[in-house]
Amino acid sequence: MSHMREASARQRPDFDGLFREPSIVTGVDLSIKGLGKAFGAKQILRGLDLFVPAGQFVAVVGRSGCGKSTLLRLVAGLDKPSGGTIRFGGEEASVKGNTPVRVMFQEPRLLPWARLLANVEIGLGMRKNAMANNEAALEALRAVGLGDRAQEWPSPLSGGQKQRVALARALVSKPRLLAFDEPLGALDALTRIEMQSLLERVWQRDKFTALLVTHDVAEALTLADRVIMIEDGKITFDINVDLPRPRHRGSVDLALLEERILSLLLRKDADQPEYEI
Amino acid sequence: MSDAPLALSASEPLSGPRGSWLAKFFIKIDWLAWAVPAGLLIAWQIASSFGLIPSTVLPSPADVALAGWKLAASGDLFINIGVSTLRALAGLAVGGGIGFVFGFANGLSKLSERLTDTTFQMLRNIPHLALIPLVILWFGIEEEAKLFLVALGVFFPIYLNTLHGIRNVDPQLVEMGRSYGLSSFALLRRVILPGALPSILVGLRFGLGVMWLTLIVAETIAAQSGIGYMAMQAREFMQVDVVVFSVLIYAALGKLADSTARLLEKLCLKWHPAFQDLMG
Ligand SMILES: Nc1ncnc2c1ncn2[C@@H]1O[C@H](COP(=O)(O)OP(=O)(O)O)[C@@H](O)[C@H]1O
Ligand SMILES: [Mg+2]
């Protein structure tokens, strides 16, 4: 029994490690105006407007293929918009290599040939100081509970552990906006819940602006200050979630909200059934 | 192989006591795998001793060993091995280097690929040994002839595998690197090159095989030193034992090259799950 407690204590994320000194960098405003994106003749986003104040946690929901990932890739600068502007804190989306945005993808995308520490160091991009990089990467790894495995290869890790390394890599540069593209989509239910609370606590400490794409409405409601829904290339639904944190799955308020959003999502389905019955 | 302990790099924590690698190495040798060659050798010796195989066709192992001993004692053996090895490595460096550079360039740049790839694919279909008459016309039997042939032979496997490796680097990893602000050089060094390395090493192994094959043929036909020349010289004087010994030397050198390539794979691909259990 005591042996078990010891093991879990070692695994528990060491937040104080990452945030020993109060973080100076906080979130950044995100303002999107008239954003459009077309792939060939297919118009995915049309005239999308969105303002996210610094430090807000926004969840983006929508049916599969509605353009959630496209929006996120545009915000992260991985694709060029075909129209409209994206600004961070009043500045034009900046030149490459100098973006305040970090992305966490659905896949961990760890370099299999780099040890965990080196993988996290990638998050610091081109920063030169090797000693400081090492230190920062180790702290970030500790913060996700993997500090004692810094010198291991990624391949034997479980899916959840790999995503934790990916989270450390995203956090290590203290991003001002963190964009998640269904980061927990591939995890099993229990690991997912653990990761959700990890995400929430990390966000509460660091107060970066968060943009979370998810197809799981319950997840959106557990984590986000605000949930937006994309339909036909626009935001058709935008609601603030004013529930106290930490939120408990299965609470009535949450369930009612979830019901409402789900019915909105499904309404679309009833109008245009994908399959003939 | 005496350089086996290189596989345990100093920074790696050893699983067992430090001094035991030699013991482990000998335990690791698969004795069963060597039973058949050893049996054949014994059978050969017995057959020769009883006169079943005329020594003008195939001298006994003991005679071959004696011939080898004489060659070694006179110093000829080591000079010739040295000359052959130098030729092989020079050809490998030139052909492999050019193949690597073009494989890399064509894997990264569409323009470069469009300019050169079709040409290479066409040339690839010419057996390079078929060029020997032409090469002799060009270079006589000077060193350039051997260098040219070996380099040409080594070029293609390294070029093709490097190209394949670069093309198959996971684009998601490249995108990740870009989005995290890595410069082009850092992206090459930390993502693209390591991603292509397994394939490049496969190319190297093929290249080493081609290297020896080409050199044997070239030295037999157009050389005045080297092991191939030693064998041809011996043939003129009907020294079958020396001929057989030369063949064995080639086999040993080929095996050594292959083992080196495998060792390199183990060292460079420690991260790869397929190599992790091998590392212990
Ligand atoms: N690079 C691309 N080229 C062409 N079509 C694309 C590309 N990326 C996404 N699409 C299309 O855009 C639509 C929205 O994709 P995406 O944003 O990934 O949807 P989701 O909301 O499920 O994340 C899909 O129909 C997809 O086929
Ligand atoms: Mg998506």
Return the domain boundaries, chain A.
25-100+175-267, 111-174
- The bound ligand whose nearest atom lies closest to the alpha carbon of A70 is 1
pLDDT score at A11: 53
Determine if the pTM surpasses 0.95: no
Cβ contact A211:A225 at 8 Å: no
Question: What residues form DSSP beta bridges with A104?
Answer: A180
Closest Cα in chain B to A166: B176
Nearest to B273 among A98, A107, A155 (CB): A155
pLDDT score at A249: 77
- CA-based end-to-end distance of chain B: 18
pLDDT score at A5: 44
Q: Average pLDDT in the B181-194 region?
A: 92
Mean of the per-residue pLDDT values of chain A: 84
A107 and B CB contact within 8 Å: yes
pLDDT score at A13: 58
Query: What are the pLDDT digits (tens) for B199-211?
Result: 999 999 999 999 9
Q: Assign A254 a pLDDT band (cuts: 50, 70, 90).
A: confident
Helix-helix angle B240-268:B227-236, to 10 degrees: 170
Query: What are the pLDDT digits (tens) for A82-96?
Result: 999 998 886 665 555
pLDDT score at A100: 82
pLDDT score at A117: 95
pLDDT score at B175: 93
pLDDT score at B277: 56
Q: Assign B17 a pLDDT band (cuts: 50, 70, 90).
A: very low
Tell me which chain B residues have a C-beta less than 8 angstroms from the C-beta of A105. 172, 176
Decide: helix, strand or coil at residue B21: helix
| Per-domain residue ranges of chain B | 4-52, 65-279
Atom of ligand 1 nearest to the CA of A70: 17
CA A171 – CA A269 distance, rounded (Å)? 37
**Between B12 and B202, whose confidence is greater?**
B202
> What are the angstrom distances between the C-alpha of A21 and each of A15, A25, A65, A206, A210?
11, 11, 42, 11, 21
Query: What are the pLDDT digits (tens) for B124-142?
Result: 899 999 998 899 899 887 8
pLDDT score at B85: 93
Query: Does the pLDDT value for residue A103 go beyond 70?
Result: yes
Which of A79, A109, A120, A151 would best serve as a mutation to test chain B binding (most B beta carbons within 10 A)? A109
Provide the token pair at B231.
């064998």
pLDDT score at A7: 44
CA B222 – CA A236 distance, rounded (Å)? 80
Query: What are the pLDDT digits (tens) for A56-82?
Result: 999 999 988 899 999 999 999 889 999
Query: What are the pLDDT digits (tens) for A127-178?
Result: 777 788 889 999 999 989 899 999 999 999 999 999 999 999 999 988 899 9
**Between B20 and A210, whose confidence is greater?**
A210
CA A48 – CA A62 distance, rounded (Å)? 14
Lowest mean pLDDT among A95-99, B88-92, B149-153: A95-99
Helix (H) or strand (E) holding B136: helix B132-139
Give A126→chain B minimum CA distance, Å: 6
Query: What are the pLDDT digits (tens) for B143-161?
Result: 899 999 999 999 999 999 9
Provide the token pair at A107.
């896949």
CA B224 – CA B145 distance, rounded (Å)? 12
Query: What are the pLDDT digits (tens) for B212-270?
Result: 999 988 888 878 899 999 999 999 998 999 999 999 998 899 989 999 998 999 888 88
pLDDT score at A46: 92
DSSP class of residue B13? P
CATH class of the domain defined by B65-279: mainly alpha
Which of A111, A133, A163 would best serve as a mutation to test chain B binding (most B beta carbons within 10 A)? A111
pLDDT score at A177: 93
Provide the token pair at B18.
């430090």
Q: Assign A24 a pLDDT band (cuts: 50, 70, 90).
A: low
Nearest to B180 among A114, A122, A153 (CB): A122
Task: With CB atoms and an 8 Å threshold, state whether A105 touches B176.
Answer: yes
Residue where the block lists tokens 């090459």: B188
A176 and B CB contact within 8 Å: no
CA proximity to A210, closest of A81, A233, A222: A222
Residue A68 Cβ inside 6 Å of ligand 1? The answer reads: yes
CA proximity to B201, closest of B168, B256, B161, B163: B161
Query: What are the pLDDT digits (tens) for A32-58?
Result: 999 999 999 999 999 999 999 999 999
Decide: helix, strand or coil at residue B176: helix
Instruction: Assess whether the previous peptide bond of A246 is cis (omega < 30° from 0).
Output: yes
Task: With CB atoms and an 8 Å threshold, state whether A97 touches B173.
Answer: no
Q: Does domain A25-100+175-267 have CATH number 3.40.50.300?
A: yes
Task: With CB atoms and an 8 Å threshold, state whether B181 touches A125.
Answer: yes
Query: Does the pLDDT value for residue A19 go beyond 70?
Result: no
Instruction: Quote the ligand 2 centre to A88 CA distance (angstroms).
Output: 23
User: Chain A to chain B, count of Cβ pairs less than 8 Å apart?
Assistant: 62
Query: Does the pLDDT value for residue A14 go beyond 80?
Result: no
Residue A44 Cβ inside 6 Å of ligand 1? The answer reads: yes
> What are the angstrom distances between the C-alpha of B158 and each of A61, B7, B96, B155, B211?
48, 24, 6, 6, 11
Cβ contact A53:A208 at 8 Å: no
Question: What residues form DSSP beta bridges with A86?
Answer: A32
Closest Cα in chain B to A155: B273
Query: Does the pLDDT value for residue A12 go beyond 80?
Result: no
Lowest mean pLDDT among A120-124, B12-16, B20-24, B89-93: B12-16
- What's chain A look like in SS3? CHHHHHHHHHHCCCHHHHCCCCCCCCCCCEEEEEEEEEECCEEEEEEEEEEECCCCEEEEEECCCCCHHHHHHHHCCCCCCCEEEEEECCEECCCCCCCCEEEECCCCCCCCCCCHHHHHHHCCCCCCCHHHHHHHHHHHHHHCCCHHHCCCCCCCCCHHHHHHHHHHHHHCCCCCEEEEECCCCCCCHHHHHHHHHHHHHHHHHHCCEEEEECCCHHHHHHHCCEEEEEECCEEEEEEECCCCCCCCCCCHHHHHHHHHHHHHHHHHHHHCCCCCC
Task: With CB atoms and an 8 Å threshold, state whether A111 touches B190.
Answer: yes
Residue A73 Cβ inside 6 Å of ligand 1? The answer reads: no
Instruction: Quote the ligand 2 centre to A106 CA distance (angstroms).
Output: 9
Q: Average pLDDT in the A186-195 region?
A: 87
